[in-house]
Amino acid sequence: MTPAEALDRVVHCLDRAHDGGFKAKAFVRAREIVRDLPPEELAERAERGTLTGIDGIGASTARVISEALAGGVPSYLAKLEAETQVPITDEGRRYREALRGDCHTHSTWSDGGATIEAMAAAARTIGHEYIVLTDHSARLTIAHGLDRDRLLQQLDIVAELNAGYDDFEILTGMEVDINEDGSLDLADDLLERLDVVVASVHSKLRMERFPMTMRMLRAVQSPHVDILGHCTGRLLEKRPPSVFDADRVFAACAESGTAVEINSRPERLDPPYELLERAIAAGCWFSIDSDAHATGQLEWQPHGCDRAAHCAVPVERIVNTFPAAELRAWTN
């Protein structure tokens, strides 16, 4: 294990534990520094004990680097590997085992912390057959959303990466913003080209019930939208759920074949149980997604799986249990 690999793995474990504190930031920084440093200099400094002389390398990051150079698994990493496993119930495991991919993931192209290649590599390691790359659309400037030109560039890069895999695929997609009038923040010709489109509300979440219902209805009825992302927009203990006529929206989802996302992010866990039950009753499709913004967060699907199990979502209604080809056929 090289120092860079060890630091990568530490960051991965801290991400899956949802640790965004100063320690996690220090390891992210150390990882960047080590990547840019000639390996000889790193080895020499480790030998002389002068790693902490590098700006951005502290005592804990230096120890991980030296132990990796000495040829073992750094002790801090070994501890993290054991302590940051994402828990899952026995009932949830049945769902997790049925999943073949993840339909909602971000990369450094928008507000994610890992490259497309790193996300794909991590997804393969946890056994996925595919991920859908769903970076944000242009309107979400705070998240460096992709405009037309950047999305076209990304599509070329994804095609190149896919040519290098034989047992894995990156499906193209976007998490497109649902505008206030329910239109979508991307032109039709591009929406048409993407394999999977997740549509989400990210602005004006406190809109009145009626206009919010109309807004969501228009979006889920679009022939281009495949998945309704984190439908209430709630952030636990931070932001209340949006208010809309869930029965009308879920009925429209069921009718137009738009899946309701079960979002696995620990601060979202969206939809709430009560709405999830109503979506099941409406006959909706579902997608259990991580909404990962870092490699470790790809391991969050167990949270959504536990919720699906709690409400007894029919496994055959979950679209990311489909192989990639079948998923693509379903979205078309």
Would you say 200 or 297 has its CB closer to Zn ion? 200
Would you say 64 or 249 has its CB closer to Zn ion? 249
Q: Is the peptide bond before 271 cis (omega within 30 degrees of 0)?
A: yes
277's tokens: 């039950």
Return the number of other C-beta atoms located less than 10 Å from residue 153's C-beta: 12
Would you say 68 or 176 has its CB closer to Zn ion? 176
Q: How many helices (H) and strands (E) does the chain have?
A: 14, 7
**DSSP conformation letters of 239-251:** BPPP---HHHHHH
Would you say 51 or 118 has its CB closer to Zn ion? 118
Identify which of 198, 269, 201, 202 has the alpha carbon closest to the alpha carbon of residue 235: 269
Would you say 67 or 291 has its CB closer to Zn ion? 291
Identify which of 197, 196, 120 has the alpha carbon closest to the alpha carbon of residue 162: 120
Interacting residues with Zn ion (CB under 5 A) = 175, 200, 291
The distance of closest approach from Cβ of residue 247 to Zn ion in the complex, given in angstroms and rounded to an integer, is: 23
The distance of closest approach from Cβ of residue 202 to Zn ion in the complex, given in angstroms and rounded to an integer, is: 6
Return the number of other C-beta atoms located less than 10 Å from residue 316's C-beta: 10
The distance of closest approach from Cβ of residue 44 to Zn ion in the complex, given in angstroms and rounded to an integer, is: 43
Question: Cβ(6)–Cβ(65) under 8 Å?
Answer: yes
264's tokens: 């696995």
> 259-263 and 286-289: which strand pairing?
parallel
Would you say 102 or 291 has its CB closer to Zn ion? 291
The distance of closest approach from Cβ of residue 263 to Zn ion in the complex, given in angstroms and rounded to an integer, is: 8
Q: What does residue 281 show for φ and ψ, rounded to 5 degrees?
A: -60, -30
The distance of closest approach from Cβ of residue 22 to Zn ion in the complex, given in angstroms and rounded to an integer, is: 25
Cα angle, residue 215 at apex, residues 148 and 235 outer, rounded to 5°: 85
Would you say 133 or 324 has its CB closer to Zn ion? 133
Decide: helix, strand or coil at residue 183: coil
- Half-sphere exposure of residue 133, counting CA atoms within 13 Å on the CB side? 30
CA 175/CA 186 separation, integer angstroms? 10
The distance of closest approach from Cβ of residue 104 to Zn ion in the complex, given in angstroms and rounded to an integer, is: 6
The distance of closest approach from Cβ of residue 144 to Zn ion in the complex, given in angstroms and rounded to an integer, is: 13
Identify which of 77, 79, 196 has the alpha carbon closest to the alpha carbon of residue 131: 196
The distance of closest approach from Cβ of residue 18 to Zn ion in the complex, given in angstroms and rounded to an integer, is: 15
Would you say 62 or 201 has its CB closer to Zn ion? 201
